[in-house]
Structure 1
Amino acid sequence: MRKAYMGVRLRRLREERNLKQVELAQALGISASYLNQLEQNQRPLTVPILLKLNAVFGIDVQLFSEDEEARLITDMRDAVAEGGESIALAELRELAANMPAVGRTLIALHRRYRDAVERGDVMAAQLGDDWTLGTRVRQPFEQVRDFFYARRNHVEVLDEAAERIYRDAGLSPRTIHAGLVAWLRGKHGVELAVGEAGPVQRSYDPATRLLHLSAGLTLGQQVFQMATQLAFLELDEAIGTLTVDPILIDDEARRLARIGLANYFAGALVLPYGDFLAAAEAEHYDIERLGEIFGVGFETVCHRLSTLQRPSARGVPFFFVRVDRAGNISKRQSATDFHFSRVGGTCPLWKVYEAFAQPGRVLRQIAQMPDGRTYLWVARTVMSSGGAFGKPGKTFAIGLGCDIRHAGQLVYSRGLDLSDPAAATPIGAGCKVCERPACPQRAFPPIGRALAIDENRAAPVPYPVA
């Protein structure tokens, strides 16, 4: 942990609890003068004091962490990217470190602005106008993405419920299909009916208590769909409570969030938290080995690894993405500070896209962002057929990444020099916000910045001009 000067946050904590300096110092077991030095940023906040804050006030130490600060900086960079004025990274870092509440307010105001733009665009469309107030509409699926991102992709109440049902139903990795069929029948009177393959994978009739599954699903996919339906049967109230969130601003977003939470529960039931974390650590996070142990696919393991952030038993904080050949990101989950910009798109130097050229092979990359933070990425393709000759199938590249300081815990770091700066590939969060002017893959200049071009010099222009 680097030296953390968090005086403003300490003063805010004290003011929120209506405590005097002497009272807070006594609660933390330190002198009033030492606390005063901490609040004046004359001394850094230490780990023992952070742990004491957690013990006395129940404060999550993550709120004072470098990761939390980096998350805030990333979100603020998105918020100010459309402001028209260039703000240095150092200024944003100072704001995140000393006045995080101001930073979060800035992000909230930007979100409200985007929502206002969306409403204006909708009204313009209804009136038949051919203009819009902005360039981007915050779609319901993006609201749901923000909903999970705000929770670090971890929903404790669903993880606990999944472990309880897994235990009560006597499930195991190799008996989970039969066990879920028996649990649905015995607990809810629901019978399973597997019909012809079709576009609808799962449908439930409450009147007849029949759960229809497509015959085109594998046994593992049937298990996931049964577990998803079980979430609606047993945890409907809890899921409904979770979706009452200001991030979800419309009914469609809340409906999507309900499905997302049910899917989260399904993954947690197939891969129960405690058992899965223990196996992941024992196997050094070997994705394919974990898939063999629990009988699931590469993507399912990666998705679950990105959720292991229980405060009392944290796994490696991973970032998970799923992309197609066109660069569309259909899934994006982050357990910590990293995420690609909502404004900038993605980077062609990112190893995830190279996976399409080497299908089925696990690729590795040490990648460094413009702010100097370095990550280890693992990528591989996953695919499924269309079910019949001539029907197109699906192919995606799955990416799983973590901060370089956690990379030593992964089997994928073997043979890599994690301490060599030259081993890292410089990538960015997309050309619109990336600050690398000399990148050979740059498609256009950053938002709000002009690129100095001299027509009398033969220097190549790093993005298309015609």
Structure 2
Amino acid sequence: MRKTFMGVRLRRLREERGLTQVALAQLLGISPSYLNQIEQNQRPLTVQVLLKLSAALGVDVQRFSEDDEARLVADLRDVFGSGAVLAGQAESVSQAEIRELAASMPAVGRTLVALERRCRDAEERAAAFAARLGEDRGQALRTQPMPYEEVRDFFYARHNHVAELDDLAERLFDAWSLQPGETGSGLAIRLESVHGIRVVRDERAFGEGDAGTLRRFDKGERVLRLSPLLAPGQQAFQMATQLAFLEAEEAIEGLAAQAVLRSEEARRLARIGLANYFAGALVLPYRRFLDSAERLRYDIDLLGRRFGTGFETVSHRLSTLQRPGACGVPFFFVRVDRAGNISKRQSATDFHFSRVGGTCPLWNVYEAFAQPGRILTQLASMPDGRTYLWVARTVSHGRGGYGVPGKTFAVGLGCDLQHAPRLTYAKGLKLDDPGAPTPIGAGCKVCERVGCPQRAFPSAGSRLDIDENSSRFEPYGG
């Protein structure tokens, strides 16, 4: 374990608890001078001291996590890239300064990230309203983020793990005597015997205007209608989602109330997101799923057959396995369409792509569209030097019938290189070869790589060296 200097965080914790250095040193069984050296970053915060802190003050050790620091560093790189331009900042901020800010003053760093996001949201909405001026004059400019962005940030802050719902789902899985891979029949019985709700696959209930609708609950008739296009595992997930609002309503409402959300739309989306999380936890119960994942070396197809679910559902669930004391590989999960729109983004780790200006075309999640149905692997290195193993594959959601357009996405699942040996997808890859990873970035507007063959436009905040004798950037023609 490398030396970890967390002096400012420790000092802030002590001040929050109203303790002097002498009092805290006595609680930890160390000398006041030693504690002072830790707070001044002259000595590292050791594992032993961290465990004593947890025992004496009930502190979550995640508060001193280096992964949290890395997540903040990634967010701050956006702030001092694109965000610096919004603020009119001319002076660049180095990577070393960003890391120092994240390590020493994380609260300040998080405040800067929140301010930059509000500024970015305001700019985007101002541009949108300017484009619509004349059609919609009466609508006031809103500066708050879109509801789905607020909900995404809520899950991101929790490392994509909701312990309360995981624990409840696991207890109910056992209490209802459900079986992995065969949960659908048990959930249908639960709905009818306890709640008086019949489950039917009704093609007539889903017309042309219901594209994307998979579940419809008729309260008056007490009937849950499921789309006939759903596979058995998808049916189980939709039944589990309905049961979430019936059996886990109190937990969901409590979690939604704790979230800092600005609108009723965001709160409704949060409740839906939490219900979906509960459904995944019920169909893929934590301990059974984690044990199978470790035994099968995180083979997504084998896990899908074991639990009767699809590639996307298994991939999404793998990104949630962060229970303290029983953690899986910390994954980053993403789903994109052919145009590069990210419709799902969940992270148990610090990796993220920029919120500004698209993602990197060298990322293998886009190559997946050229080889539909095939699992692609990629070692990819980011500008900060960290390397990741990525697994990508297309998934399709068809509407059925000739000439009816379907939906195709690419699903990506990534983890830090240090976890790669635990995955079956590492077979044949040169994990120890520094030249093997593909250099990618967080998106052209915030990527500082020079000489990239796929760069679409210069990095935000950088000086543009325009040479009339060069064809590097061609704003017209070409």
TM-score (norm 2): 0.91
Is residue 289 from structure 1 mapped to residue 302 from structure 2 by the alignment? yes
**2:72/2:109 contact within 8 Å kept:** yes
Could you tell me which residue of structure 1 aligns to residue 472 of structure 2? Answer: 461
Distance 2:107 2:382 in 1: 25
Call closer, same or farther: CA 1:435–1:242 in 2, change over 3 Å. Answer: same
> Contact (CA 8 Å) 2:184, 2:232: kept in 1 or not?
yes
Structural RMSD (CA): 2.4
Aligned to 1:41: 41
- Distance between the aligned counterparts of 2:252 and 2:140, measured in 1? 35
Match for residue 319 of structure 1 among 311, 328, 332:
332
* 1:69-218 equivalent positions in 2, closer than 5 A: 69-80=69-80, 81-84=82-85, 85=89, 86-114=92-120, 138-196=145-203, 198=206, 199=210, 200-218=213-231
Distance in structure 2 (CA, Å) of the matches to 1:406 and 1:216: 37
Measured against aligned partners, the alpha-carbon deviations of 1:216-247 in whole angstroms (never above 9, x if no partner) come to: 22222111111010001112232122222554
Q: Which amino acid aligns with 2:48?
A: P
Tell me which amino acid in the other structure corresponds to 2:84. G
Moved more, 79-88 or 336-345: 79-88
**Cα separation, 2, equivalents of 1:320 and 1:120:** 31
8 A contact 1:324–1:395 mirrored in 2: yes
Q: Deviations over 1:288-337 (max 9, x none)?
A: 11111111111111000000011131111000011111111111100121
Asked if 1:32 is matched to 2:32, the reply is yes
Give the C-alpha shift of residue 172 in structure 1.
0.5
CA contact (8 A) 2:125 2:142 kept: no
Are 1:71 and 1:336, in contact at CA under 8 Å, matched by a contact in 2?
A: yes
- Aligned pairs for 1:259-278 (under 5 A) are 259-278=272-291
Please state how far the C-alpha of 1:101 moved relative to its aligned partner.
Answer: 1.2
* Cα distance in 2 between the residues matched to 1:394 and 1:119: 28
Matched, 1:334 2:347: yes
Question: CA separation of 1:463/1:340 partners in 2, compared to 1, >3 Å: closer, same or farther?
Answer: farther
More displaced 10-residue stretch of structure 1: 237-246 or 15-24: 237-246
Query: 1:75-122 CA deviation, whole Å, 9 max, x = no partner?
Result: 222233222233222111110011111111212333444565577678
- Counterpart of 2:361 in structure 1 is 348
Distance 1:455 1:111, change over 3 A: closer
The question of whether the paired residues in 1 share the 8 Å contact of 2:125 and 2:141 is answered with no
* Match in the other structure for 1:4: 4
Contact kept in structure 1, 2:368 and 2:394, CA below 8 Å? yes
373 and 83 in structure 1: CA distance in 2 versus 1, 3 angstrom threshold: same
How big is the shift at 1:418?
1.6
AA of the residue aligned to 2:99: R
Aligned to 1:19: 19
* Superposed CA offset, 1:235-265 (max 9, x none): 2232122222554211112111211111111
Identity %: 64
Q: How does 1:426-437 map to 2 (within 5 A)?
A: 426-437=439-450
Q: How far 1:349 sits from its partner (Å)? A: 0.5
Output the CA distance in 2 between the equivalents of 1:79 and 1:437: 20
In the TM superposition, residue 11 of structure 1 has moved relative to its aligned partner by 1.0
Match of 1:393 in 2: 406
User: Residue 321 of structure 1: SS of its match in structure 2?
Assistant: strand
Distance 1:137 1:327, change over 3 A: farther
Question: For residues 112 and 386 of structure 1, what CA distance do their matches in structure 2 show?
Answer: 38
Note if contact 2:54-2:61 (Cα within 8 Å) is conserved in structure 1: yes
Aligned to 1:241: 254
Amino acid across the alignment from 1:147? F
Distance 2:143 2:345 in 1: 19
Structure 1: segments with no counterpart, 5+ residues:
none
1:410 offset after TM fit, Å? 0.9
Specify the alignment match of 1:383 in structure 2: 396
Tell me, in whole angstroms, the C-alpha distance in 2 between the residues paired with 1:82 and 1:31. Answer: 43
> Offset of 1:464 from its aligned partner?
5.2
Paired AA for residue 52 in structure 2: K
Where 2:441 maps in the other structure, the secondary structure is coil
